[in-house]
A and B are shown apart, each in its own frame.
Chain A
Amino acid sequence: MRHLRNILGGWVIGALLVGCGEVPKGTAGPGAPADKKIVVWHWMADRQDALQELAKRYEAETGVKIVFELFAPSDAYSQKVRAAAQARVLPDIFGILGEKRDFAAFIKAGCVANLTPAMEADNRAWENLLLEKAVAINEFKAGNPYGVEPGIYGVPIDFMTIEMLYNKKLFKELGLDPDRPPATFQEFVEMGDALKVKKMQGLVSGWAEEWLIGCFALNYAFNIMGKDKVLATFRGDVPYTDPGWIEVFSLFQEMRESGVLAEGVVTMVNKTAEQLFANGKAVFAFNGSWCVNVYQGMNPALDYGVMLPPAASDENPMSIWGNASSFMVNARSKNKEEAVAFLQWLSRRDQQAYLAQRTSNLPANKECLGEISPLLAQFADDVELTTHPNLWGVSEFPLVSETLARGLQSIVIGEKTPEQVAAEVQKVKERELLKKRK
């Protein structure tokens, strides 16, 4: 009997200990105290120190404590936020990674507050501070295909563009003018011969990651076919076997045949590609503006320039991707007002300038663009040319995007032709369209 009592007693003590455990930080669910403490979840390891410093300043100014909790890498963060949304334990402020449909799903699940009233207050004072493109990334327009109530649901804290970079020192070794990067796709592929002679590697990028090779292809799809035709393809009105798409896919074949691509480019994650470019082992890179910070850390002496991907056609302007790192306010947070107030403060000039200076990212605040480094300014010059799937109002089926990226990888390694890839992508597209109609 004493044994039984001990066992039961042990269980009761165990249960009490578990029950008395600390409530997870940042929960805004029922019973969470509405004190002056705002918890922010994010994935941006390179911004953590700067954000913590800003949190200290904000607490000194207002008495509201801000706790930035970092969860990296981004894949793990993405899963954490989804799980927290299910369990309704999202913090007061958080970021959402993924495509617009994921963003929309969070909104429809009641996890994201509509910030439109705050943005539009005082003659749109808050909204007018920010880059239009950065705001648009967080905006759902009337009649959006996701069925989300129109409005602005996120606050951009910085902006990034994805462009090409070239190593000026290697350009000189190739006998080229380091201030005149190739302006056309033809000039670019013609460099392949010189690269082979000098035994240099050409373009590096994280093309093992499907989104990055897809991004490169879509830049050229916009350039060759124009936005309307690309979006018509997504809607299912234009097939991937259209000559325009074949032309886009053929660019990858041309790059492979000319030798302008680095060996094994489709087996590189972007971190590998960044290391190679930073160490001067490749002449070109296709990377986002976050690379300024990355290269600074890897090789401060790296001398490089920023260029648009060289245009393959004069028909349409070259488009590049631009995206914002944004924070959303938890619609269920008891500290919603304080959270909005903090994000307004974070959008202001001083804080944005500090973030840009510490993290070498493009600020989301327009007023700070004049205060950034010359290198970052090269990225900022092309902000007007940016586009992003989150702005298009129509999105491609994930399986089609995946098949497209795999097909491009196959072209780069020389095992498929552009026509074969086009046919495969179209087959998947038709299957997905059929499924949707059902």
Chain B
Amino acid sequence: MKLESTLKSTLENYGFIFPAVLIFSLFYIYPFVQIFHLSFFDWDGIVPFKDAVPVGWGNFKEIFSQDPTWWQATRNAGFITVIALTFQNILAFLLALACDREIRMKNFYCLTFFIPVVLSEIVVGMTWRFLINDFDGANVVNRMLGALSLSHLAHHWLFDPRTALTTVALVHCWKGFGWGFLIFLAGLQTIPRELYEAARVDGASAWETFRNITVPLIMPVMGLVAILTVLGTMQIFALIIGLVGGEFAGHTSVPVLRILASMQGSSRFGYACAQGMTFGMILVTLSFFQYRLARRARV
């Protein structure tokens, strides 16, 4: 009787999780396995898959030994990620610190900082292109520099290969800092106020309070934001299309644009899958190390 009841209960429990497992398997695990499988073939995505030519590790070998454009794209994405990890997250953290205090119009600021996040990347890219460019735009940046008597710094920010990627990175930071801001703010609000009051009673300065209470307690949140920033930034591409139309002779090339080029430009689906797998492994490795680092910092 007891056994029957346990069996029923187990079946019921499995019944509840079955839909989620099914959906996850169907839409995540199966495509992942398929992509991995496809990455060992030379296939144009049109002829029946049975006619695809198996190439073994050939696609991966090509990525690692014969495709400098791929690694240039990865370096470019890495550069944007470094800017996002530093500039974007510091900005987000400082703004979250400011909004964690009792200031006027706090909700308005929170809303305003989050607006860029919900905008489409293409729209943000095209809007900033218009704001930055001169003859086909409003030339706002150069005008501001002129107003600040810094007109000698005026520049074709997006057309110059030396500044295009940095400009892309800064626009990406503008678009993305709202996420970090929101998560940091939520993290800051979970720190018990009593700790700050106790520190104040003990005569701790603002800097000591920040260093000894805020930073250690916000560290897990920083780790989370850092992982999300890396994952989000490395996959950037639509913003680049909006800003500079594409890879700009390789200067704004990023891995997702390379994968798209392999699929759509060259009809090399197998190679694109191998690039996708390689890119996925890079992201998993980065996230793993970040996680370890964040855990060590917490300890």
Which residues does A use to contact B, with CB under 8 Å? 1, 3-4, 7-8, 75, 78-79, 82, 85-86, 98-99, 101-102, 105-106, 108-109, 111, 201, 206, 208-210, 262-264, 266-269, 272, 275-276, 281, 398-399, 402, 406, 409-410, 413, 415, 431
Decide if the interface of chain A is mainly helix, strand, loop or mixed: helix
**How many residue pairs at the A-B interface have CB separations less than 8 Å?**
100
Whether the pair A7, B261 counts as a contact (CB closer than 8 A) is no
Q: How far is the CB of B130 from chain A (nearest CB, A)?
A: 10
**A-B pairs with beta carbons under 8 Å apart, 6 shown:** A86-B49, A262-B135, A264-B136, A267-B244, A267-B248, A272-B245
Q: Given the known A-B contacts A106-B46, A267-B248, are A399 and B266 also in contact in the complex, defined by CB atoms under 8 Å?
A: yes
Whether the pair B245, A206 counts as a contact (CB closer than 8 A) is yes
| CA distance in complex: A263, B241 (Å) | 17
A residues in contact with B16, CB < 8 Å: 7
| CA distance in complex: A108, B268 (Å) | 17
Whether the pair B12, A3 counts as a contact (CB closer than 8 A) is yes
A residues in contact with B135, CB < 8 Å: 201, 262-263, 281
Q: Given the known A-B contacts A78-B264, A264-B158, A398-B267, are A8 and B248 also in contact in the complex, defined by CB atoms under 8 Å?
A: no
What 1/0 flags go to B155-168 for Cβ under 8 Å of A? 01011110010000
What 1/0 flags go to B134-174 for Cβ under 8 Å of A? 11100000000000000000001011110010000000000
Q: Given the known A-B contacts A82-B45, A86-B49, A281-B135, are A398 and B268 also in contact in the complex, defined by CB atoms under 8 Å?
A: yes
Within 8 A of A (CB), among B253-270: 261, 264-268
Task: Determine whether B192 belongs to the interface, using a CB cutoff of 8 Å to chain A.
Answer: no
Task: Determine whether B66 belongs to the interface, using a CB cutoff of 8 Å to chain A.
Answer: yes
Instruction: Point out the residue from B15, B45, B241 that lies within 8 Å of A7, measured CB to CB.
Output: B15
| CA distance in complex: A262, B135 (Å) | 9
Task: Determine whether B47 belongs to the interface, using a CB cutoff of 8 Å to chain A.
Answer: yes
| CA distance in complex: A259, B30 (Å) | 54
A-B CB proximity, top 9 nearest: A208-B245, A398-B266, A409-B249, A105-B46, A264-B159, A7-B15, A267-B244, A269-B245, A410-B249
B residues in contact with A82, CB < 8 Å: 45-46
| CA distance in complex: A122, B248 (Å) | 52
Q: How far is the CB of B213 from chain A (nearest CB, A)?
A: 48
Q: How far is the CB of A140 from chain B (nearest CB, A)?
A: 15
A residues in contact with B134, CB < 8 Å: 263
| CA distance in complex: A37, B236 (Å) | 43
Which residues does B use to contact A, with CB under 8 Å? 8, 11-12, 15-16, 44-49, 66, 69, 133-136, 156, 158-161, 164, 241, 243-250, 261, 264-268
Q: Given the known A-B contacts A206-B245, A409-B249, are A105 and B44 also in contact in the complex, defined by CB atoms under 8 Å?
A: yes
| CA distance in complex: A399, B249 (Å) | 14
Name the CB-closest residue of B to A8. B15
Q: Given the known A-B contacts A210-B265, A264-B158, are A406 and B249 also in contact in the complex, defined by CB atoms under 8 Å?
A: yes
In addition to A263-B156, A415-B161, 6 A-B residue pairs with Cβ atoms within 8 Å of each other are A86-B49, A208-B248, A263-B135, A281-B136, A406-B247, A431-B66
| CA distance in complex: A410, B72 (Å) | 15
Q: How far is the CB of B18 from chain A (nearest CB, A)?
A: 8
Instruction: Point out the residue from A85, A264, A406 that lies within 8 Å of B46, measured CB to CB.
Output: A85
B residues in contact with A102, CB < 8 Å: 44, 46, 267
A residues in contact with B268, CB < 8 Å: 398
Whether the pair A4, B11 counts as a contact (CB closer than 8 A) is yes
| CA distance in complex: A384, B248 (Å) | 34
Q: How far is the CB of A135 from chain B (nearest CB, A)?
A: 23
Instruction: Point out the residue from A108, A267, A402 that lies within 8 Å of B266, measured CB to CB.
Output: A402
Q: How far is the CB of B155 from chain A (nearest CB, A)?
A: 12
B residues in contact with A406, CB < 8 Å: 69, 247, 249-250
Q: How far is the CB of B272 from chain A (nearest CB, A)?
A: 12
Q: How far is the CB of A83 from chain B (nearest CB, A)?
A: 8
Q: How far is the CB of B38 from chain A (nearest CB, A)?
A: 12
Q: Given the known A-B contacts A4-B12, A75-B264, A398-B268, are A266 and B248 also in contact in the complex, defined by CB atoms under 8 Å?
A: yes
Whether the pair A276, B44 counts as a contact (CB closer than 8 A) is no
Q: How far is the CB of A127 from chain B (nearest CB, A)?
A: 26
A residues in contact with B47, CB < 8 Å: 105, 108-109
Whether the pair A266, B15 counts as a contact (CB closer than 8 A) is no
Whether the pair B267, A209 counts as a contact (CB closer than 8 A) is no
Whether the pair A267, B159 counts as a contact (CB closer than 8 A) is yes
Name the CB-closest residue of A to B262. A398
A residues in contact with B156, CB < 8 Å: 263-264
Q: How far is the CB of A172 from chain B (nearest CB, A)?
A: 20
A residues in contact with B267, CB < 8 Å: 98-99, 101-102, 105, 398
Q: How far is the CB of A39 from chain B (nearest CB, A)?
A: 20
Name the CB-closest residue of B to A85. B46
A residues in contact with B15, CB < 8 Å: 4, 7-8
B residues in contact with A266, CB < 8 Å: 245, 248-249
Q: How far is the CB of B1 from chain A (nearest CB, A)?
A: 13
Name the CB-closest residue of A to B244. A267
| CA distance in complex: A268, B160 (Å) | 13
| CA distance in complex: A356, B170 (Å) | 46
Q: How far is the CB of A231 from chain B (nearest CB, A)?
A: 20
| CA distance in complex: A264, B244 (Å) | 9
Name the CB-closest residue of A to B5. A1
A residues in contact with B8, CB < 8 Å: 1, 4
| CA distance in complex: A209, B260 (Å) | 13
Instruction: Point out the residue from B12, B48, B66, B245 that lies within 8 Å of A267, measured CB to CB.
Output: B245
Whether the pair A209, B46 counts as a contact (CB closer than 8 A) is no
